[in-house]
């Protein structure tokens, strides 16, 4: 069972990311947002390439959702004829036609520094939002719309964004969102040609050091649930750096 503190930290981080959406991006991407019962619903489009963003985060954390709340969420996505996923434990959701899909493994560890890896890369605070956003979006395989969105996080309250550089050239990103004594990690992305050089380990070390300096008690992070018992690289990296699995957040898919 995932601790409420870890779930809230991730939900609150996602909520603030959504609230950072610039108006131009909302219009250009035809993005819809609904906040309901403590949950955040985002609908990018019915385009399958962006389906991962058609999701509901945080449902059931503050209180079990009623059938009426689920009715409103389903109507929100039906207006765009979009399939979506509800992430979190919701009683009786299968009876409404949802199917279980791989969920999210949630990890936590004390906000204590780790030894940085030996690497020629340097890590600094991101000072240029456009640079951070463009790199993070491109390295994640996302369209330009997301570059302007992610750029808004640099300098935003409670956000600490970092860039790893190779000979002065930005090659990887990572961010820390800090609130209520808990830090949440995200926006880890590395240019494909620079992967395997220790960029994300260096960025993780910088963010954990910042978390300690901010007086945070805990840092949480998440990655995909292992499929067929095989954890991915991010899962193994978190384990290697002292993160402990605190639970798996189920994901329930509903077709349009």
Kindly report, residue by residue over 77-118, the tens digit of the pLDDT: 999 888 999 998 888 999 999 999 999 999 999 999 999 888
The pLDDT, as a whole number, for residue 1 is 46
> What does the pLDDT read at residue 13?
95
Q: Domains in the chain, ordered, with CATH?
A: 4-104 (no CATH), 112-216 (3.40.630.30)
Q: Which residues contact 22 (CB under 8 A, 6 or more apart)?
A: 148, 149, 152
Supply the mean pLDDT for the chain: 91
pLDDT band at 3 (very low <50, low <70, confident <90, very high): low
Q: In which element (H, E) is residue 218 found?
A: strand 218-224
pLDDT at position 176 is 98
Decide: helix, strand or coil at residue 40.
strand
Average pLDDT over residues 64-77: 95
* pLDDT at 54 exceeding the cut of 50: yes
Q: What is the token pair recorded at 166?
A: 């190779």
Confidence of residue 237 (pLDDT cuts 50, 70, 90): confident
């Amino acid at each position: 069972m995932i601790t409420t503190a870890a779930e809230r930290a991730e939900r609150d981080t996602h909520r603030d990311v959504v609230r950072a959406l610039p108006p131009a991006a909302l219009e250009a991407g035809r993005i819809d947002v609904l906040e309901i019962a403590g949950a955040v619903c985002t609908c990018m489009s019915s385009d399958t390439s962006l389906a991962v963003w058609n999701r509901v985060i945080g449902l059931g954390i503050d209180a079990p959702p009623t059938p009426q709340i689920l009715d409103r969420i389903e109507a929100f996505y039906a207006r765009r004829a979009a399939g979506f996923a509800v992430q979190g434990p919701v009683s009786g959701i299968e009876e409404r036609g949802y199917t279980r899909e791989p969920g999210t493994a949630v990890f936590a560890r004390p906000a204590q520094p780790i030894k940085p890896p030996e690497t020629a890369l340097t890590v600094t605070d991101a000072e240029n939002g456009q640079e951070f956003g463009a790199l993070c979006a491109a390295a994640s395989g996302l369209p330009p719309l997301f570059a302007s969105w992610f750029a808004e996080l640099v300098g935003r309250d409670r956000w600490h964004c970092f860039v790893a550089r190779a000979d002065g050239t930005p090659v990887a990103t990572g961010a820390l969102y800090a609130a209520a004594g808990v830090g949440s990690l995200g926006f880890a992305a590395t240019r494909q040609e620079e992967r395997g050089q220790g960029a994300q380990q260096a960025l993780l070390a910088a963010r954990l050091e910042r978390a300690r300096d901010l007086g945070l008690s805990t840092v949480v992070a998440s990655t995909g649930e292992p499929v067929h018992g095989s954890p991915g690289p991010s899962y193994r990296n978190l384990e290697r750096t002292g993160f402990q699995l605190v639970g798996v957040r189920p994901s329930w898919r509903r077709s349009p």
